[in-house]
């Protein structure tokens, strides 16, 4: 190996080692700056996060409220299918699925007044009246009753 080749190889090795050390320093600095980003399950932290990620608006479908059945009685199953199923039928956005007894047990234990209030006013990721502001309160309550009856 010539003298020039030896110098080149030594220079190459030194540069490679310097880049490797620089990479390690950058990784360590990134970990220090980022800190511990693990998910917290503390109620105070969860409540703060939920407040920060609340939607800034809602979509209301004009005229989308199903008409009352003959006799003036609201059909909770029909309301559920037209408004609630999108989330509670699929589990979207963490919504408890209809018929999931384990997911609904604690919710049902809170009582119908609480369930009605959450459905009417919104709760966590769920918008008021399931996002359909044209629904009457009685229609929302009928849908809640239907959902609860499916989940007992």
> Are 23 and 58 in the same domain?
no
Which CATH number covers residue 87? 1.10.760.10
> Are 70 and 124 in the same domain?
yes
**Per-residue pLDDT at 2 exceeds 70:** yes
> Are 30 and 80 in the same domain?
no
Please write the tens of the pLDDT for every residue from 4-59: 999 999 999 999 999 999 999 999 999 888 776 666 677 888 888 888 888 777 67
Look at 59-73, 100-114, 117-131 and tell me which has the smallest mean pLDDT. Answer: 59-73
For the segment 77-101, the average pLDDT, to the nearest whole number, is: 87
Comparison of pLDDT for 59 and 120, the residue scoring more: 120
**Per-residue pLDDT at 75 exceeds 90:** no
> Are 92 and 32 in the same domain?
no
Q: Which 3-state string (H, E, C) describes the chain?
A: CCHHHHHHHHHHHHHHHHHHHHHHHHHHHHHHHHCCCCCCCCHHHHHHHHHHCCCCCCCCCCCCCCCCCCCCCCCHHHHHHHHHHHHHCCCHHHCCCCCCHHHHHHHHHCCHHHHHHHHHHCECCECHHHHCCCCCHHHHHHHHHHHHHHHC
> Are 27 and 75 in the same domain?
no
**Per-residue pLDDT at 66 exceeds 90:** no
Domain that holds residue 95: 43-151
For the segment 73-94, the average pLDDT, to the nearest whole number, is: 86
> Are 47 and 24 in the same domain?
no
> Are 63 and 25 in the same domain?
no
> Are 12 and 64 in the same domain?
no
> Are 22 and 71 in the same domain?
no
Q: How many domains does the chain have?
A: 2
For the segment 88-102, the average pLDDT, to the nearest whole number, is: 87
> Are 53 and 31 in the same domain?
no
């Amino acid at each position: 190996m010539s003298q020039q080749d030896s110098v080149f190889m030594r220079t190459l090795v030194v540069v490679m080692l310097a880049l490797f050390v620089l990479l390690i320093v950058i990784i360590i600095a990134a970990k220090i700056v980022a800190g511990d980003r693990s998910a917290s399950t503390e109620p105070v932290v969860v409540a703060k996060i939920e407040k920060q990620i609340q939607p800034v608006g809602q979509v209301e479908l004009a005229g989308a409220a199903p008409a009352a059945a003959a006799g003036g009685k609201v059909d909770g199953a029909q309301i559920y299918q037209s408004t609630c199923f999108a989330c509670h039928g699929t589990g979207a956005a963490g919504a408890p699925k209809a018929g999931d007894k384990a997911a609904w047990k604690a919710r049902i234990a809170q009582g119908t007044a609480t369930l009605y209030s959450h459905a009417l006013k919104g709760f966590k990721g769920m918008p008021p009246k399931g996002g359909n502001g044209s629904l009457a309160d009685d229609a929302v309550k009928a849908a809640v009753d239907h959902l609860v009856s499916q989940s007992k």
